[in-house]
Structure 1
Amino acid sequence: MGDVNHGHIQWTSLQSTGREDQEFLNLVQDSFLSQHVLEATRGENLLDIVLSSQKEFVDNVKICEPLGCSDHNQIHFIIKVKGERNRKIRYRKNFHKGRYKDMREYLAKIDWNNTLKNKTATECFGNILKSEIDCVVDKFVPLKKQGKRSKKKHLSKEAIRKIKYKQMMWKTYRHAGSEEDYSIYKEALNQATAEIRNSKRSYEQQIAFNIKHDSKSFYAYVRSKQKVQDKVGPLGGSDGNIITEGFLMAENLNEYFSSVFTKEILVYYQYLRLSSKGESLTI
């Protein structure tokens, strides 16, 4: 995928008028590659292309509005490849869809007088009530998949509103194609770009100002800007085998840190305790 600047190539008929364009077209055909972009990507010219060795690898190609102040349109497409997913699916309670009426009816049927009779406060609240609450939550509150959050924290509500308005104006321009609609879209683009820049600057200033009180948010934002996310493993075990399972890697790291951790001298602490009592100790 890229900008090749060969605008004289007719990709639908596989013809070209320029010498360099024809040479590039011959190279693509000799390499048995398929080109998937068939609409203009910069004005009336088709300059950005997506190549693949098989047509089935790329699907659902869409030409969208330009990104930021660029004069090239975005190209959205799906690559059909199978990849290994090592992220386990996690579930959490969906309390918004809990059956609270059934929960109340279930708890009302319990004979609390006999259940809590002759029990201490610790037994009542720490064991019995906690056990019953956990039981009704598991019974009447469904689970849902815990997806990865994609919300941009640095975007304000005003920035999101202007982004949606810009996208709507782009669709209007693509449908009608008039100069007036394009001018409206450009104005919406400039406003959205300025609002995104201001919103991001305000968010970064805020987390930098609060770093002493909320350092977690600051470093989480810094890590989110990393292109390559760090992950643990695989690790080499003490027996020389490679460890890839999460639980076993945690156990291996625990054993290693325990082996290199500084062992404090107990005699020194015994001396401190004796000194606090006014007694002497000879080492």
Structure 2
Amino acid sequence: MVKAARTQLQGQHIRNSFSKSRELTSANCQTGSLPFTTPHQPILLVRFNRKLSIQRILTTSQAIFYSASSRTHVTSQCRLLSAVIDGPQQMWAKWLSIELPLRGSDSLLLGVVYRSPSSPPEDDHFLIRTLGQLSSSYHFTHLLLVGDFNAPKAPWTELQCVGSSGPFAAALTEVVQQSAWTQHVVAPTRYRAGQQPSLLDLVITNERHFVDQVTINAPLGHSDHCVLTFDFICYWARNPEPQTWIRNFCRADFSGMRIFLNQVKLGPASVEDLYRTIVQKVHEADAMYVPKKPARSRTSRKLPKRIRRLLEKRSQLFLKKLTTGDTEDELAFRKMRNRCKSEIRQWNIRKQATILDLARKNRNVLFKYMRHRRRNKPSAFSLRDRNGEPTSDPIVVSEFYRDHYADAAKQWSLDWYLPLNDEKCVHMSFGGDSANSFVMHGEKGPEDITRIDAKKDLGIWLSPNLSFSLHLEKSAQKAFAVLRMIRRTFSRITRTDFQILYGACVGPLLEYANPVVYSGRTKDVILIERVQRAATKMVAGLKSMDYETRFVVLDHFPLEYRRL
């Protein structure tokens, strides 16, 4: 269940209120179960922070959508995964989705899933196949999937599936990784007396920055599922750029300026005084008779002029088709529409090829293009002000860090003795579990030093047993994140593109310090090879081939052979 933070529940009556958010377009969401439902009945309530009114309430089974739209019509698409079994209220798996329009051509696919623990394999296969076809069946830019998937053993934090995780958990994890999605819940969400806590309720998006933070709260009523609260951020507000105004001489009143300057009387004075008087009068005439206009941005347009003209012609044909209703006008519009799609597709391919050529010399060009293609653009300083609103204002950020480090910097500059911070001193034991406690004698007396189990030094994660499994896991996480960025950025990757992208962005992450960090364990080798398996599947025409054949076609080798 997803519920707005300000939605008030009184018995079985639901009151919904909408508010305006100036900083970002978001949805304040909560998941759980209502007091008037049974513990296994999923309910979904959604409220979007836009200055709107309720337009449609869509209900099916035990799921409710509250959607809102200002001028556009909200289209809903609902689908049940399995047939009705033992009555109209009992189903092994339920799927409900709705597509909501956002800015421009962007849209949000919002879906809720409930899967029973006793779901048969055929329903599980249908659910996995449906999730895998979302990207191809729906043309959305934002994705939010919530619900009770009943996959407690899914390894969301380990990037690899063990044998005891189960077939459904393994398939669900594989779909999320192959689709470049992100699962944001990492802590258990179901607690019952006498049973081990488990992670059942999931929040899945197609970009990591869509969900800011997931908070786990107490259950509602008699439910054993916790309430999940999070902010779904569709767009980040950008800092307003300073407007530059220039003189518009095309609309200047030169006749009035001439009359104004003819009335200026210049008496006997020094050359400097006469010069200042003339300059002052010219500026006054300029302010009175020459209007100003905002300066145009010098940034290049997204599409070339030829394609923009085709789009204008397509709009004209569309209006003509609506006016006349003639069949020939309809065919002409469709022909121009298909031509525009083809031209834009070819232009994107040529642009991506140019960027890949530039990336051979400078990788920053590639990363800049990837950041530009992201739907939401959070600032590097994702801080919140005193009111709890996200801000990327450099002045606010600098003041925050100034206040935070003011005392430490002042003490450093006055003392020059390099004092140690007791709270930041840690220790780690290598080669065994040491029971000794380490203390530091400071001004407040002896204080225990915090013990840690992992430390990053020179880009390598160290652990007490020196197995380097943690380092390989972190490297695989970074590599999968880069693969997600590449998959979202490039619609088609050829073999030449794969050599450039993989060799410049993914390979160095996996091969960094490999003479030192190679563990030799089978599970670590499989974990690293999974990254390369997913990368080779992204090449056009090689997805249906097996792993060894893809290596032969790409002239590549397994990562374990590349150790120096």
TM-score normalised by the chain length of structure 2: 0.23
Q: Which has the higher helix share?
A: 1
TM-score normalised by the chain length of structure 1: 0.40
